[in-house]
Chain A
Amino acid sequence: MGEVIRVSGLTKRFGQKIAVQDLHLSVRAGSIFGLLGSNGAGKSTTIDCMLGTERADAGEIRILGTDPRANRRSLFQHVGVQFQESAFQSGLKVREICEITHSLYENPIDWQKTVAEFELSDKLKTTISDLSGGERQKLCILLAMMGRPKVIFLDELTTGLDPVARRDIWQTLLRLKQTGVTLFLTSHYMDEVEKLCDEILVIKGGKELIRGTAADVVHRTDSENMDEAFVKLVEEGIR
């Protein structure tokens, strides 16, 4: 299977502070890749650089074979993004944001059908800020899917959701994966990572700590599960 994302030697500084240092990663088509780390580890900065909303100080980034800063318009026909904050004009209704997002793409999905699949049909006239956390995140996935993307970036999609809503989101993501979409996500929930990710990369202070499958990481850190492995990695620096 082909490579959808490749990052080599990514480095980003903010003044004197190094946010990301010499990061390398590669994501296979149709897989789910998890970028993990504590708050402030550099996950969002990495995503910002990968998407081209931040300029990297060094390194090369290729998404679907193109440089996101050079071919923004054509690339984002095929790349869906959900940021940590939902990033909509407050006061917009579900139908309105769907129609606007739908108009951005050359070959969009039939959003009304997907809204029904996501059980959001009765929320079309609801203001986005009045949705429950789970509903809002489902809407975010739907909007990120709107242009039939080949890759979707999801930054802390399930933070703040209850266990039922989180499992609901997992099912949605696994269904997306079945359709061949590549997912790049960040998360603070290790059960989620074990359940979803084909490959993970743990970073601390912008540098790589460990990479591999979740099972691999658990084994190499001599842990019971990912939760324990993550704490060992991040707190004790075991690798």
Chain B
Amino acid sequence: MKTLRLLYMAEVKLSVREMSSVIFGILLPVGLMGLMGMFADTQLELIRAFAAIATIGLVSTGIMSLPLSLSSYREKKVLKRYKVTPISPTHLLAAHVLHCFSLSTLSMVLVFLVAWLGFGLEIVGSLWLFLGGYVFVMIAIHSIGMLVASVSPREKTTGAISSALFFPMFLLSGATIPLTILPEFMQTLAQIFPLTHGITILTDIATINEFNTVSFLILFVLTGICLMISVKTFKWE
């Protein structure tokens, strides 16, 4: 337990020192919420903006931080080193995932505070259901990151795959640019991004207090497939 705590603290410190996950995962969504809050004319627009921007944190940690760190730890033989100690490299993996989850959740809470205190956000659905939905989407998106970390042979390849997944999702699934202002074919295209379904789930909870079963099932199956392939193909070195 002590080792896990120390490894977790180390992951937090490393990410603060490295800055990119703090910039993409915290500062960017908080700033964007401030901006979109000013543009939102109605409560509905504000809720939609909040539900979408709240996912930026989990996408940055799930698609960027998780696979990049794991690939780097594998390439630098950090994982292998823990195989020749009394603990297993699973501890380091767990510490990093915990770090990703806590950074994502912190990002969502901060975005919520900006929308609530700054612009008087009042979500229609239950806060607990929203939180549950958030955790589900967070796990789903991180499972994609695990898949990338498992199938990518090198850190550089991981960087390329992660960017290729991150930026389209980031820009076109409604997290930064509201889907409603995009042309119709783009809105249809956006359905291929898992994050679009994540945002749909959160938006439905926040606006009409309903759980979107179709999007839920799509993400649920995707998560299952990603985790299954990860477990089968993940290599410690």
Contacts and interface: CB of A to CB of B under 8 A. Distances in A.
A166 to B, nearest CB: 23
Contact of A83 (B6, B17, B73, B77): B77
A70 interface: no
B81 A91 contact: no
Contact of A91 (B18, B85, B87, B237): B18
A53 interface: yes
A91 B20 CA distance: 14
Given A76-B86, A105-B86, A83 B3 contact: no
Contact of B6 (A52, A53, A72, A100): A100
Contacts of A196: none
A89 interface: yes
A100 B86 contact: no
Given A92-B10, A103-B3, A104-B87, A87 B17 contact: no
- Chain A at the B interface: SS class: loop
Given A100-B6, A103-B2, A104-B3, A91 B83 contact: no
Given A81-B84, A87-B81, A91-B17, A96 B76 contact: no
Nearest to B10: A96
B77 A87 contact: yes
Contacts, number: 63
B3 A87 contact: no
Nearest to A101: B85
Contacts of A90: 72, 76
A169 interface: no
Contacts of A113: none
Contacts of A221: none
B221 interface: no
Interface string A77-90: 10101010101111
A99 B6 contact: yes
A101 B76 CA distance: 17
A89 B86 contact: no
B71 to A, nearest CB: 13
B16 to A, nearest CB: 10
Nearest to B75: A85
A2 B126 CA distance: 68
A154 B186 CA distance: 57
B86 A77 contact: yes
Contact of B77 (A52, A85, A101, A103): A85
B14 interface: yes
A87 B83 CA distance: 12
A11 B19 CA distance: 46
B22 interface: no
A195 interface: no
A51 interface: yes
B88 to A, nearest CB: 8
B14 A81 contact: no
A75 to B, nearest CB: 9
Given A85-B76, A103-B3, 7 more contacts: A51-B84, A72-B83, A76-B86, A87-B76, A90-B72, A104-B87, A106-B86
Interface of A: 51-53, 72-74, 76-77, 79, 81, 83, 85, 87-92, 96, 99-101, 103-106, 147
20 contacts: A51-B83, A53-B237, A74-B86, A81-B84, A87-B80, A87-B81, A88-B76, A88-B78, A89-B14, A89-B73, A89-B78, A90-B76, A91-B17, A99-B6, A100-B3, A100-B10, A101-B85, A104-B86, A105-B86, A147-B86
